[in-house]
Amino acid sequence: MIAISSRYAQSTVVIANDLAGKDIQAIVPSVQSAYSFSYSFYLLKQFDTLPNLAYDNYGDPTLWYLIADANPEILLWDVTTAGTIIRIPVNN
């Protein structure tokens, strides 16, 4: 079951078999539509985390993926260093 507040809420869950023949569940994302957003720049500080930045900007730490999605060039957030400039989508 996918939580209604999840970004995957409109997606489908399917059951597939892995190489050992065991059932696994996978999320098939829904078709994405084009969108645009405004953003501000933020200079990462030591000990910043995505959930903390989401809480500071949106009041909800579970919205961390909005920041991650706006910065697709960053693949490993846990090794991103202080001084890195990121985009923070503006909550309209």
- Taking residues 69-91, what's their average pLDDT? 91
Distance, in Å, from the CA atom of 59 to the CA atom of 83, rounded to the nearest integer, reads 24
Residues 18 and 61 in one domain: no
Report the mean per-residue pLDDT for the chain. 87
Residues 45 and 23 in one domain: no
pLDDT category of residue 14 using cuts at 50, 70 and 90: confident
Q: Which domain holds residue 19?
A: 1-34
Residues 91 and 68 in one domain: yes
Residues 43 and 6 in one domain: no
- pLDDT tens by residue, 46-75: 999 999 999 999 999 999 999 998 999 999
- Taking residues 41-50, what's their average pLDDT? 96
CATH number for the domain harbouring residue 64: 3.10.350.10
Residues 56 and 26 in one domain: no
What is the number of domains present in the chain?
A: 2
Secondary structure (DSSP) of 79-91: GPPTT-EEEEE--
